[in-house]
Amino acid sequence: MKYLLNSKSWKWVSIGLLTYTVIGGFFLPVPRLPILNETIRILHFHVPMWFGMIIMFAISFVYAVKYLSTKELKYDLYAKEMVSVGIMFGMLGIFSGMVWANFTWGEPWSNDPKQNASAIALLMYFALLILRGSLNDDHQKARITSVYNIFAFAILIPLLFVLPRMTDSLHPGNGGNPGFNAYDLDSNLRIVFYPAVLGWTLLGLWIATLKIKLSMLQMILDDK
Amino acid sequence: MINNRLKLILLAGFSLLQLVAFGQSPVEMADNFRGEGKIYVVVMVILTLLAGIFWTLFRFDRKLKELEKEIESKK
């Protein structure tokens, strides 16, 4: 985290990867599939939102544990800002998914298990922010939200990775099949998709570091 | 014997048909749109937007650094 807060070079990596994502994502050949048609390119923009969200929540989880073991308020701050950027990614994922689903599945919300599960996941993390906001004492706030965060992350994993796979889903790779089968066949998608995930995640981290710096300044001002 | 030869010819014929079907893929893609070069407009617009977002983020970075210094010096 110290490196992320103080260094600038990784931001250029994010810029480079996202520029490549847009250029490669629109120009490189993609598989010609019925129903999806040209919209398969949304893969490079919609799916990285979820990857980003999960990575942000995972980092947040790590800092929640770190806070509980060290009782240093800055770790709680990292955890909180990571959650808020994760929620931003999740909301973007849901809304971009709804636009895409309206075209391919015929309606924006078809109660697909993965749609429902991700909505529940987001609600859990909304509750975390509300819980935080309702407490006044800094250490009490940090302790309770850290514990909540750990439980929320523990539920997030089965919610997104296990439960949708146990039933039929409109999402590819669900209903008994592991992750990426549908895309694994096509290396044209992969050479853009993985850089896209990294680029969007780094952009999320960038926003998170800005928020963290801002809250740290706020904390210094409040102490005075 | 003839039967076998007929089978072979039929097999080759149908295999070729498959190739033809594969060549003119029935899935509709935005080929015309690309052919006319309009895709460049789309990509340029998105790249411009991205550049604006990055620029703003860098500006936030700089502003925050200035604020940090100011608060540090007032301590």
Q: How many CB pairs under 8 A join A and B?
A: 48
Task: Tell me how close the Cα of A144 comes to any Cα of chain B, in angstroms.
Answer: 29
Interface residue B45 vs chain A (CB under 8 A): no
Q: What is the pLDDT of residue B36?
A: 87
Compute and round to an integer the Cα radius of gyration of chain B. Answer: 31
Dihedral angle of Cα B26, B27, B32, B38, to the nearest 10 degrees: -170
Contacts of A221 in chain B (CB under 8 A): 71
Is the dihedral angle over the CA atoms B55, B61, B64, B68 positive or is it negative?
Answer: negative
Q: How confident is the model at residue A145 (pLDDT cuts 50, 70, 90)?
A: very high
Q: pLDDT over 90 for what percent of chain B?
A: 41
**Residue A61, pLDDT above cutoff 90:** yes
What is the per-residue pLDDT for A173? 65
Q: Do A22 and B50 touch (CB under 8 A)?
A: yes
Q: Is the pLDDT of residue A153 over 60?
A: yes
Residues of B in contact with A27 (CB under 8 A): 39, 43
State both tokens at B35: 């052919």
Task: Report the amino acid identity of residue A198.
Answer: L
Asked if B60 and A210 come within 8 Å (Cβ–Cβ), the reply is: yes
Separation of alpha carbons A205 and A188, rounded Å = 27
Cα B57 from Cα A205, distance rounded (Å): 12
- Check if the beta carbon of residue A204 is closer than 8 Å to that of residue A89: yes
The contacts of residue A88 (CB under 8 Å, 6+ apart) are A204, A207
* pLDDT attached to residue B12: 74
| pLDDT over threshold 90, residue A149 | yes
Write a three-state SS string for A4-71: HHHCCHHHHHHHHHHHHHHHHHHHCCCCCCCCCHHHHHHHHHHHHHHHHHHHHHHHHHHHHHHHHHHC
How sure is the predictor about A178, in pLDDT bands with cuts at 50, 70 and 90? very low
Which pLDDT belongs to residue A194? 92
Give the integer Cα–Cα distance in Å for A176 and A217. 48
Structure tokens at B25: 């893929």
Contacts of A219 in chain B (CB under 8 A): none
Helices (H), strands (E): how many in chain A? 9, 0
Sequence spans of domains, chain B: 2-74
As a whole number, mean pLDDT of residues A219-223 equals 86
Would you state the pLDDT for residue B10? Answer: 74
Contact between A86 and A57 (Cβ < 8 Å): yes
What the block records as the tokens of A68 is: 């509980």
Distance CA A104, CA B13 (A): 36
Which of the four pLDDT bands, split at 50, 70 and 90, describes residue B37? confident
User: Residue B34: its pLDDT value, please?
Assistant: 86
